[in-house]
Amino acid sequence: MLLKDKHIIVTGGTSGIGEACVRHFLGQGARVCMASNQKDSGEELEQELQKTFEDSVFFQYCDVADEGSVRDLCQAAEERLGRVDATHCNAGVWGKGKVTDFTTADWEKLMGVNVKGAFWLAKHAVPLMEQNETGGVFLVTTSVAAQTGFPEHALYCASKAALEALVRCLAVDHAGKVRAVAVSPGTIDTPMLAASCQGWDKPVAELYAEVEKRIPVRRLGQPDDIAKAAAFLLSNNAAYVNGTTLVLDGGTMALPPW
């Protein structure tokens, strides 16, 4: 059990990659505070998981773009878990458009959640982990969009690149107390991926089938693929992994451009 007795905050924890991480972390012996702005889904998931894991898991509503909400999340986690050993900054939103298309509202929504949300979480969670004798781990979910110029994804790609820079800075600024690492998913079968397929002239299943043929492992990634890697990075087995990003894309980034 890689995460036995680890006390972990997971944002964006009620669907997709976040939900898979919550389930896997619990199965690996962790206690988890799962957070999201999806109140109904969070409360339902809490009830389901507590049937098996009892008080090892609870839901906390959080709007990561709001500092007060993030402060409340970290305080609740410390009070109910006793301490915070690790934080998985996973909450994120997707948006499409060129730089010539974006509006102030687009910027506030996407950068507010993806980037400012990560800063607020680091601001309030890192001090809690620094109090621990053994320190802690700050894990961020980025994306291969940080290294790739996806067509009509200027804001999204920029937001994910910003997260990778943040990870490097956290590793330096909090050296010796908090490790900072990131997972960079490729094409993962999540509700966000399905949403990105809307508006195409082909059914989602057909689009997925075409994409699978291009990925070297010949399948889409699954949320649990990310959860397993995240558990390793949060564990003591990854004690020398710091300030870096683990790409989980099935080999997509290795493809030539033809």
Confidence of residue 256 (pLDDT cuts 50, 70, 90): confident
Give 179's strand partners: 137
> pLDDT class for 199, splitting at 50, 70, 90?
low
Whole-angstrom Cα Rg for the chain: 18
Q: Are 135 and 179 in contact (CB under 8 A)?
A: yes
pTM of the model: 0.94
- C-alpha atoms less than 13 angstroms from C-alpha of 108 in its C-beta half-sphere: 4
Positive or negative: CA dihedral 50, 19, 105, 122:
positive
What's the pLDDT tens digit per position in 22-81? 999 999 999 999 999 999 999 999 999 999 999 999 999 999 999 999 999 999 999 999
Question: Exposure of 232 by Cβ count < 10 A (0-12 exposed, 13-18 middle, 19+ buried)?
Answer: middle
Strand blocks (E) in the chain: 7-11, 31-36, 57-61, 86-89, 136-141, 178-185, 244-248
Q: Would you name the residues annotated as active-site residues?
A: 156
Strand partners, 140: 89, 182
What residue spans define the domains of the chain? 7-186+225-248, 187-220
Provide the CA 161 distance to its chain's centre, in angstroms.
Answer: 14
Q: Tell me: the pLDDT tens digits for 109-168?
A: 999 999 999 999 999 999 999 999 999 999 999 999 999 988 889 999 999 999 999 999
- What CATH number labels 7-186+225-248? 3.40.50.720
